[in-house]
Amino acid sequence: MKHIVIIGNSAAGLSAAEAVRSQDNEVRISLIAEEPEPAYRRYLIGEVLSGKLKEKEIAFKSPEFYKSARIEWLKGQKAEKINGNRNQVVLSDKTRIEYDTLIIATGRFESIPNEVKGSKKHGISGFRSLAQVRDIQQLIPITNTVCVFGDGLPSLSAVQAFRRKGLEVKLISAGSRFLPWIDPIIAKTMLDRCRDEGVEVIFDQKLSEVFGNGDVKAVKISGGKVIGCGIVILDNTATAEVGLVSETEISTEGGGIRVTSSLCTDRQNVFAAGDVISTGFSGWERAIIQGRIAGENALAVCRGGELKSCPNIPQKLRLEFFGSPVILLGDSSGESSEQETLCKAGEGWYRKLVLQNNTLAGFAAVGNLNGWEQAWEMILSGAFIEPDAQRKLLQSV
């Protein structure tokens, strides 16, 4: 019996397992999960911290799912390395698991920089898991101030959660611009919402030192200022979990595992999907699609079949930030010389269309998202967009 091993128990890993089982009832599937919980929607952990949702309400799969799909769920197990020559995954307890095909879906993690003095103190955390949230919850009753380093999605989630809990929050960015990865007008709107909610935003600063006897008591930032705090969230150090392949011929680039269009690595029986690959941030929906293709291709290798190419999946990001809804679809930057940008704003809203060769390449909006579903369909179809349709999408109705 062929054996497909999957490392990672989130969107990409679970999607791969489902894809394999939907096409083959006999193949053996093992899923290595470092966390002991069933899969959950980790983009909602901020809602758990704030108390808006309970842990069970962000579940992605139930414990029964693994049993009914006949997936060998190796929960609470960490994959330490891959021996590609022997087709083995080595776990932290030195157990060796042999595979016919392997799928790496380990996502991203925060690496606390060793060069920062005091970086091992209790109270320094990433913001990507329920385990981290539970640890943070224990500190909230004895904490007045939180310092959040970074301006990615986990940072935004953490900032909102801590403010809902009534804590003073300082958001510290290494750059000179707030959220440089999104439209500047939308970023300015979100910055204003931060400040309206009492969040102090500090630019051009990095974590320099952490003070405290065991627990965090204060931090020093690169400009020399010392800030008293009991919790430090690091989001600016998140990197793809590529340590598994460090002793293999599987190559990396851009901080992630390099894959072909079929999500195959340098080894023909090893695939990768989700945030661990070198194409950058995948997001939940992209990870699900990539996981499905990786699963189908891993099964195809077992059967001697042909591989599928993963489609080019446009970005789709929707969130609410301190009550302001935001959506980013496709290439909403509009930075290419081949693109035309149309923008319109009103009281409390702004939207932007990015056109390329008379098709909709991107859409961004804040305040009122009416029409975003239509914009998404236009981006996916690549259909010609009439001037009337452009005008309608620019209106906030």
* pLDDT, tens only, 49-98: 999 999 999 999 999 999 999 999 999 999 999 999 999 999 999 999 99
Average pLDDT on 119-148 reads 95
pLDDT digits (tens, 9 = 90+) for 204-262: 999 999 999 999 999 999 999 999 999 999 987 667 888 888 889 999 988 899 999 99
Average pLDDT on 282-311 reads 94
Domain chopping of the chain, boundaries = 3-107+241-303, 124-237, 316-394
Q: Is the model's pLDDT at 173 over the cut of 70? A: yes
Q: Is the model's pLDDT at 280 over the cut of 70? A: no
Q: Which of 160, 150, 145, 161 is nearest to 111 (CA)?
A: 150
- The number of angstroms, rounded, from the C-alpha of 190 to the middle of its chain's C-alpha atoms is 20
According to CATH, what is the number of the domain 3-107+241-303? 3.50.50.60
Class of domain 124-237: alpha beta
On average, the pLDDT of the chain sits at 93
| Token code pair at residue 262 | 């079929």
Average pLDDT on 129-140 reads 96
Angle between helices 372-381 and 387-394 (to 10 degrees): 140
Residue type at 264 in one-letter notation: C
- pLDDT for residue 387: 85
Sign of CA dihedral 388, 391, 393, 397: negative
| Token code pair at residue 4 | 């497909």
DSSP 8-state secondary structure symbol assigned to residue 36: S
Q: Are the folds of 3-107+241-303 and 124-237 the same?
A: yes
Choice among 201-210, 299-308, 383-392 with the minimum mean pLDDT: 383-392
Residue type at 307 in one-letter notation: L
Q: Are 257 and 239 in contact (CB under 8 A)?
A: no
CA dist., res. 53 & res. 58, Å (int): 7
| Token code pair at residue 34 | 């470092």
3 state DSSP class of 295 = helix
| Token code pair at residue 248 | 């293999």
Class of domain 316-394: alpha beta
